[in-house]
Structure 1
Amino acid sequence: MRFLFLISAFLLVVGSGQSQNIKILEESTNLPISGAAIYNASKSKSTTSDIDGVANLSRFSVDELIFIEHLLYISGSYIVSDITNRTVYLKPKIEGLDEIVVSASKFQQSKRDIPQKIINLNAKSIAFANPQTSADVLENSGNVFIQKSQMGGGSPMIRGLSTNRLLMTVDGVRMNNAIFRGGNLQNVISIDPFTIQNTEVTLGAGSVVYGSDAIGGVMSFYTQTPQLSYSDSLYFKGHVVGRYATANKEKTGHLDLNFGLKKWAFLTSVSYTDFDDLRMGSHGPIDYIRPEYVHTSGGVDSVVQNENDQVQTPTGYDQINFLQKVRYEPKEDWSFDLGLYYTTTSEYSRYDRLIRYKKENLRSAEWNYGPQRWFMGNLQVTKLSSNSNLYDKIQSTVAYQNFQESRMDRDFNKTDRTIREEAVDAISFNIDLEKQLGKRMEFFYGLEYIYNQVISNGMIEDVQTGITMPTVSRYPNGSDWQSVAAYTSLKFKPNPKFVLQTGVRYNHVMINADFTENNAYLELPFTTTKINTGAFTGTAGANWNPNQTLGLRLNVSSAFRAPNIDDIGKVFDSEPGSVVVPNDDLKPEYAYGLEFGVKLNFENVFILDMATYYTHLDNTLVRRDFRLNGASEIVYDGEMSTVQAIQNAAESRIYGFELGMQVNFTKALKLKSHYNIIGGEEEGNNGEKKPLRHAAPQFGATHLLWQNNRLQIDGFVKYNAELPYHQLAPSEQNKDYIYALDGNSNPYSPSWYTLNLRTQYEFSDAISLTASLENITDQRYKPYSSGIAAPGRNLIVALKYTL
């Protein structure tokens, strides 16, 4: 009853103030524009449109002249009383030139000022794409290739680099931790797509601003900000979403609620997703089908025939995401933002390990990841104007994160289940500042401190008796990783057509690891290891837009990745018959990059965006054969295995070309296309050259979009070139169980394409329906290096209701 009373009171308040509100919408799409600045001629009065494009004009008189301005739209002036139907329509500026990005310096900048290519995905485009996970969000960017070893996964590849050579941030906080590995990662699925307000993908090095790991790119996720009222009335907004998909029988529910007062705002978001086993397509390589699987009943393993060999059993799992944010604005230029994030999955199978055979029989009875849990609490304080000689804007962020993951595997008809559990506690502090040095120059600088502690345990459980005994852990228990850094960056803009940006960073990394516990099993020639190393990185780039037609950008950069706990201390079975052991003799790897881009815009009708790049990676950390106490083989988990270790044993050369095209036939009808070509090689210390493991095949997509009023339609095709056997990295050539076989029975990655259609219709301001029919021709395919086949024909339907 109290809730009903609150809602009733809210409706009365809103109704009484409705005449003082206006709604600001995008011309031709009717989509709301948030963050539009509204002010009078003297700028003595101002307000801002909220997330629904609504602004309250009670502070302005009815005959007053107001100005409405937004960086992405053409500004306009209006007399308050003349605004028809209390609605203002703004026309977008030239495509993409004045888009705002944050990731390049931690503060808002125009995209035209950034010498690197940055892909921007907003909440509207994400909702239209209907992604099941945040890995799918990245894939929809067009320049990120996604690998999956199981359905509960998604490992990004950018410009031939992957995993711990790419950096992920959430609301400005570094997500990479001390055990991010060189193998495929699935941490990105911890980010709830429903909470993302904006995603920025920086292609190329970002070490000056973000430090270690940002060699190939930076994926910055910004979640929704609680919306204040900006008036004396309570602001309330909520969304309820239900979604179902046929290929994996996805059942998703989402709820978010926003309560806004004049200075305080609260946002709560909860999502729950349940996935069943994934069905692959009907037309494609027979090598991908799942004819049989292991079933355990009464403690007895047996191989059973799969009733439908296109269903990948077992791949299902479920996930819960929770977000709570609080925003406090005591003054217009001050804000305090508190965020609490929690996500957990159920236990789920690592599918690529369950399809391996040992001779004629399936090798594993079970190979599961335990629940993947992530918690983060962060507090961010921002001041956007100051008379200080040191800064005009300042932002400080302190965060705590806890990561938990585990692995459980047992061979077929064996009673011993090996369990390894890991947890990381991560503390970080950042302070970032901006200072305007005259009209033409901006200065950015900041400090960062990060501390990670790793907890790691291993045990063997007898599944019949329940008795457990300790065994070698995956990482040295109690080890820690620390990073201290300072950076500066300068932007010089002598005129509106030319921008020069340059920066430098010093990063110092310290590692302490104690192998005493694991030495009871491995007999390492050392008990402790310490790494104390530092690195300077720099960048310099220019953007030149001589006219509305031509835009040029050039950027040179250096980046680095310091060894982490995963590099120096990991013990795991990298592949059947091999085991990776610790190595205390590691140095940072360094990358030197060059990028050149051209953008052509012909009357905003035909737009062409091209970029080419080259990266040289020196001291590359790679997995190679190794000797432990003089032995090339040891017994690990009961099996004689070849000894390997991470080593600075190679250098890599990566090059590529990216092409994006857009044709605006009319305001409603557009054609968009993008294509990526990636190449390179890895040269070992012995001079032997090999293909790069994370260089994806040529890939792209072409979209034909029609959009008018409440209806959007997108028909598109996605395509991927073949990667033959001789172009696979040696580690991939050994994984014949995840690839198709060519005429010589060698593994290779076949080419593939899919035809797809998605649509969105707004029945009213409160109800919208999004429907996608993916892989219409039911193709059976696997993206490169993926252990699980992609969904077959898949109907995804989502219904959204706005409270």
Structure 2
Amino acid sequence: MNKVLFLLIFLCVQVGFAQQITVLDVDTREPIGNVAIYNNDHTKTALTDFDGKVDLSIFNQEERIAFRHLSYQLRKSTRGQIHRHGNRFFMVMKAEELDEVVMSVSKWEQQKKDIPNKITVIDARDIAFSSPQTSADLLQNSGKVFVQKSQLGGGSPMIRGFATNRLLLSVDGVRMNNAIFRGGNLQNVISIDPYSIKSTEIIFGPGSVIYGSDAIGGVMNFYTKKAEFSNSDSLSFSGNASYRFASVNIENTVHVDFNLGKKKWAFLTSASYNSFDDMKMGSHGPDSYLRNQYASTVNGADVLVLNENPKEQNPTGYNQFNLMQKIAYKPNNTWQYDLGLHYSETSDYARYDRLIRPDKAGDGLRSAEWYYGPQKWFMGNLQMNKRGKGIFYDGLKITTAYQHFEESRNDRGFQDVIRYSTEEKVDAISTNIDFENKKIGNLRLYYGGEYIFNKVGSVGSQEDIETNIVSGTASRYPDGSTWQTLAGYVNGEYKAKPNFTLLSGLRYSHVWIDAAFDKTYYPFPFDDANLNNGALTGSLGFSWFPKADLQITLNGSTGFRAPNIDDVGKIFDSEPGAVVVPNPDLEPEYAYNMELGIQKNFNDKLVFKSAAFYTYLVDALVRRDYLFDGEDEIMYNGELSSVQAIQNAAKAFVYGFEFGVEAFLTDNISVVSNLTITEGIEEEEDGTESPGRHVSPTFGDLHLVYKNQRLKTDLFLNYNGEIPFYDLATSERSKEYIYATDVDGNPYSPSWYTLNIRSQYEVTSDLKVSLNLENFTDQRYRSYSSGISAPGINLVLGLGYRF
């Protein structure tokens, strides 16, 4: 009798579990709560819980039932069909659904509609569909960030007329900018694996209240995937495997990640490997971009070799691998501990724009070799989160991190036997403590503090390639120099009315630099640089909905950038015939910004967005002519070079407009377009004006998107406007070899466009295939200030499997 009773109970339990299903997002696989489920005559209804689970026992096995959620497309099925698919039911997000929650402005979740700053969110489904080669391409694919490239292994974002060390990168809330981030183009963003990213949030305009120095033009926050806990007592296992091939540079990329979850512990492991061959440019465009010859060493001698395929940019190929390990521990509902370990390493990769520089005669090449050594980045990040009622907070977040950066530069002149090398290492530690307080009526406060310490190691060497004798030479930076900052901030969000929200914040930062100069190779007229600077920054803005379908935002903010080791202590061959020398007498530069935004929704069928901005930069840190020990020229690497240094010697004005349109023609077809127009001027102390160096040309895109439950296709146009010679920055005019030539024989950046199509098909709920054809008219072009030509016609194949 007991056995029969036990069997009946067991069968009832199994039937009960069989009738319980989980409703998930088809792209992210995250559970969807509050999904309404009902039959045709609405006599039976059910609702999913927070974990997306619901019991369907009230419905008959083959009864037609509907699944409805405000953010997702309506879907219908039967209980029997769902059971045959493993009791999982997938829903597709509506095209017009906008991201509602962001974290970048305060480091805590906030409603996007309440924030006066312009923020763009690139989520996991966007990343998976665009299938970028690198994180630089991920930003470019958004249509709202301009990206410059000097070589294939790179990508330097430009936002609102600012770039490099005037933009801030962060990964999981940890500042990536270090003490040697330079004013020249940067490629550190490629260290972030796009396959590990859950979402990217881009703040346009100053973000110094939360992020401190460098956040003048904008902030790019990369949030990587988290280790997921199990919803039951049993061990959960899931994962992804991906492969991507691109024809234009014979790319082969493989990726795998898997997650192990228990109730209190979770582990996520991610690994990616990329292999890129030389990039091929398009067929239709300026002949001056062709790679007609390249330098090669034959029998110990440098010779010029005719390129059999001038469209192949030799050498540009490289490879890279990325690893990520996440460990999460949740002992109770109050505390959670998250450990993230990241490692990225590239092979050597050529600085292509330096390898196409002509020699003084104009018929040869200046360099036989110019390459970066492996770019390495490690980050260990421990984050402790507490939720619950404290005396002064409702949320507490403590983040501690250690980062290690390695990079090197190696160059040798054509038919020169000496190879010059510099190697840099940076160790960075940081601690952030952030509080959220929601207790004070309609006021929410966010406040906290930050401490960062960087130590720079730098050595120089020269090698005779015939004798293999290595000797010392000047390092790029003062070896052992340090940069540190201590800061505190407070940020407030006040909901004055249901349709009117005020945001305001203040931050004080103090920065110290300690650098001692080695006089072995250069007779510096100073022994060290000891900078001690403070900066107060603030912001004030509002978000107002005069009507439910109309939003107006206005925001004023200040930003600053304190001098770093690159500004104070660099010795570097900046361009042919010029050398940058240290300058220990620098002050921070400040930016003052105003931004007005308007967003109008027309019956959920058409959404129009626009923003106008103006930024005024004072005490700008710029490279200008200088005297070194009373001399305006010195010998550097065997060449008489004019002397320059970073100085607080200019002002800058940047202004522009940004437009966006989303039109939802049907439930399946939409049109999306973006346009960015930026103008900028640098003004010298004597009143002389010149175009801004990092002001991008007018750029935009236009997308026609079709999407149903299984297929998504995007036919789109990318376009860039022309920058004529008179609008080129003075420093760019001297780089004739990377630009086309106008009718007057002057360098300029031509306009260009590309036509492209992307498609992704869901074979099953776990298997997706993608087929993209990029630049299918095979245009030959270079983005502004880029030394490498963009890809020609490119076939991209992708395969993704969830398990």
Normalising by the smaller structure, the TM-score range is: over 0.9
SS for the counterpart of 2:738 is coil
Task: State the Cα deviation string for residues 61-87 of structure 1 (Å, max 9, x = none).
Answer: 989xxxxx99983899xxx99998656
Task: Specify whether residues 303 and 329 from structure 1 end up closer, same or farther in structure 2 by C-alpha distance, changes over 3 A only.
Answer: same
AA of the residue aligned to 2:666: T
Match of 1:652 in 2: 652
Which one of the candidate residues 448, 451, 459 is aligned to 1:449? 451
Given that residues 761 and 768 in structure 2 are in contact (C-alpha distance below 8 angstroms), is that contact kept between their aligned partners in structure 1?
yes
Given that residues 28 and 124 in structure 2 are in contact (C-alpha distance below 8 angstroms), is that contact kept between their aligned partners in structure 1?
no
Match of 2:186 in 1: 185
Match of 1:473 in 2: 475
- Does 2:199 correspond to 1:198? yes
Where do residues 150-229 of structure 1 align in structure 2 (5 Å cutoff)?
150-229=151-230
- Does 2:423 correspond to 1:421? yes
Match of 1:66 in 2: none
Shift of residue 706 of structure 1?
A: 0.3
Which one of the candidate residues 364, 367, 370 is aligned to 2:370? 367
Separation in structure 2 between the aligned mates of residue 70 and residue 728 of structure 1, nearest angstrom: 54
Shift of residue 19 of structure 1?
A: 2.4
Shift of residue 494 of structure 1?
A: 2.4
Match of 1:3 in 2: none
SS for the counterpart of 1:136 is helix
Unaligned runs of at least 5 residues, structure 2: 1-12, 37-46, 60-66
AA of the residue aligned to 1:403: F
AA of the residue aligned to 2:701: A
Where do residues 121-160 of structure 1 align in structure 2 (5 Å cutoff)?
121-160=122-161
SS for the counterpart of 1:361 is coil
Given that residues 36 and 70 in structure 1 are in contact (C-alpha distance below 8 angstroms), is that contact kept between their aligned partners in structure 2?
no
Task: Specify whether residues 437 and 46 from structure 1 end up closer, same or farther in structure 2 by C-alpha distance, changes over 3 A only.
Answer: farther
Separation in structure 2 between the aligned mates of residue 94 and residue 798 of structure 1, nearest angstrom: 23
Separation in structure 2 between the aligned mates of residue 21 and residue 623 of structure 1, nearest angstrom: 66
Shift of residue 31 of structure 1?
A: 4.1
Given that residues 610 and 657 in structure 2 are in contact (C-alpha distance below 8 angstroms), is that contact kept between their aligned partners in structure 1?
yes
Task: State the Cα deviation string for residues 377-423 of structure 1 (Å, max 9, x = none).
Answer: 00001112x22121000111000000000000001111100010000
Match of 1:9 in 2: none
Task: Specify whether residues 192 and 31 from structure 1 end up closer, same or farther in structure 2 by C-alpha distance, changes over 3 A only.
Answer: closer
Match of 1:764 in 2: 764
Separation in structure 1 between the aligned mates of residue 72 and residue 291 of structure 2, nearest angstrom: 56
SS for the counterpart of 2:609 is strand
Shift of residue 261 of structure 1?
A: 0.9
Task: Specify whether residues 32 and 361 from structure 1 end up closer, same or farther in structure 2 by C-alpha distance, changes over 3 A only.
Answer: closer
Where do residues 18-417 of structure 1 align in structure 2 (5 Å cutoff)?
19=18, 21-25=20-24, 30-31=26-27, 34=30, 36-37=32-33, 48-49=50-51, 55=52, 73=71, 95=96, 99-358=100-359, 359=361, 360-384=363-387, 386-417=388-419
SS for the counterpart of 1:19 is helix
Match of 2:41 in 1: none
TM-score by length of 2: 0.92
Separation in structure 2 between the aligned mates of residue 545 and residue 583 of structure 1, nearest angstrom: 50
TM-score by length of 1: 0.92
AA of the residue aligned to 2:783: P
Separation in structure 2 between the aligned mates of residue 324 and residue 70 of structure 1, nearest angstrom: 37
Shift of residue 36 of structure 1?
A: 3.9
Task: State the Cα deviation string for residues 319-361 of structure 1 (Å, max 9, x = none).
Answer: 0000000111112332111000000000010000000011121
Separation in structure 1 between the aligned mates of residue 493 and residue 95 of structure 2, nearest angstrom: 23
Separation in structure 1 between the aligned mates of residue 365 and residue 420 of structure 2, nearest angstrom: 18
Q: Percent sequence identity over matched residues?
A: 52
Task: Specify whether residues 362 and 74 from structure 1 end up closer, same or farther in structure 2 by C-alpha distance, changes over 3 A only.
Answer: closer
Separation in structure 1 between the aligned mates of residue 109 and residue 544 of structure 2, nearest angstrom: 19
SS for the counterpart of 2:515 is strand
Separation in structure 1 between the aligned mates of residue 681 and residue 491 of structure 2, nearest angstrom: 32
Task: State the Cα deviation string for residues 601-654 of structure 1 (Å, max 9, x = none).
Answer: 000101100000000000000000000011000000110000000000000000
| Farther-moved stretch of structure 1 (627-636 vs 81-90) | 81-90
Match of 1:722 in 2: 722
- Does 2:750 correspond to 1:747? no
Task: Specify whether residues 251 and 92 from structure 1 end up closer, same or farther in structure 2 by C-alpha distance, changes over 3 A only.
Answer: closer
Shift of residue 548 of structure 1?
A: 2.6
Match of 2:662 in 1: 662
Task: Specify whether residues 415 and 74 from structure 1 end up closer, same or farther in structure 2 by C-alpha distance, changes over 3 A only.
Answer: closer
Unaligned runs of at least 5 residues, structure 1: 1-13, 50-54, 64-68
Separation in structure 1 between the aligned mates of residue 385 and residue 271 of structure 2, nearest angstrom: 26
Match of 1:595 in 2: 595
Separation in structure 2 between the aligned mates of residue 179 and residue 98 of structure 1, nearest angstrom: 35
Separation in structure 2 between the aligned mates of residue 153 and residue 94 of structure 1, nearest angstrom: 32
Shift of residue 286 of structure 1?
A: 0.4
Match of 2:42 in 1: none
SS for the counterpart of 1:694 is coil
Separation in structure 1 between the aligned mates of residue 321 and residue 717 of structure 2, nearest angstrom: 32
Separation in structure 2 between the aligned mates of residue 552 and residue 219 of structure 1, nearest angstrom: 24
Task: Specify whether residues 802 and 155 from structure 1 end up closer, same or farther in structure 2 by C-alpha distance, changes over 3 A only.
Answer: same
SS for the counterpart of 1:546 is strand
AA of the residue aligned to 1:758: R
Separation in structure 2 between the aligned mates of residue 157 and residue 167 of structure 1, nearest angstrom: 11
AA of the residue aligned to 2:372: Y
- Does 2:567 correspond to 1:564? no
Given that residues 71 and 97 in structure 2 are in contact (C-alpha distance below 8 angstroms), is that contact kept between their aligned partners in structure 1?
no
Task: State the Cα deviation string for residues 149-207 of structure 1 (Å, max 9, x = none).
Answer: 00000000000000000000000000000000000000000000000000000001100
Task: State the Cα deviation string for residues 436-485 of structure 1 (Å, max 9, x = none).
Answer: 13331100001000000000000011111111111111000000000000
SS for the counterpart of 1:112 is helix
Given that residues 293 and 303 in structure 1 are in contact (C-alpha distance below 8 angstroms), is that contact kept between their aligned partners in structure 2?
yes
Which one of the candidate residues 486, 489, 504 is aligned to 1:487? 489
Separation in structure 2 between the aligned mates of residue 74 and residue 366 of structure 1, nearest angstrom: 55
SS for the counterpart of 2:641 is strand
Given that residues 417 and 461 in structure 1 are in contact (C-alpha distance below 8 angstroms), is that contact kept between their aligned partners in structure 2?
yes
Separation in structure 2 between the aligned mates of residue 267 and residue 313 of structure 1, nearest angstrom: 38
Separation in structure 1 between the aligned mates of residue 413 and residue 635 of structure 2, nearest angstrom: 16
Separation in structure 1 between the aligned mates of residue 533 and residue 19 of structure 2, nearest angstrom: 60
Separation in structure 2 between the aligned mates of residue 16 and residue 707 of structure 1, nearest angstrom: 36
Given that residues 243 and 252 in structure 1 are in contact (C-alpha distance below 8 angstroms), is that contact kept between their aligned partners in structure 2?
yes
Match of 1:4 in 2: none
Task: Specify whether residues 388 and 94 from structure 1 end up closer, same or farther in structure 2 by C-alpha distance, changes over 3 A only.
Answer: farther
- Does 2:620 correspond to 1:620? yes
SS for the counterpart of 2:520 is helix
| Farther-moved stretch of structure 1 (430-439 vs 565-574) | 430-439
Separation in structure 2 between the aligned mates of residue 62 and residue 186 of structure 1, nearest angstrom: 57
Separation in structure 2 between the aligned mates of residue 588 and residue 32 of structure 1, nearest angstrom: 43
Separation in structure 2 between the aligned mates of residue 70 and residue 641 of structure 1, nearest angstrom: 70
Task: State the Cα deviation string for residues 27-86 of structure 1 (Å, max 9, x = none).
Answer: xxx54562645699xxxx99644xxxxx4569x9989xxxxx99983899xxx9999865
Aligned pairs, how many? 768
SS for the counterpart of 1:138 is helix
Match of 1:643 in 2: 643
SS for the counterpart of 2:122 is strand
Separation in structure 2 between the aligned mates of residue 39 and residue 717 of structure 1, nearest angstrom: 37
Separation in structure 1 between the aligned mates of residue 470 and residue 762 of structure 2, nearest angstrom: 57
AA of the residue aligned to 1:393: G
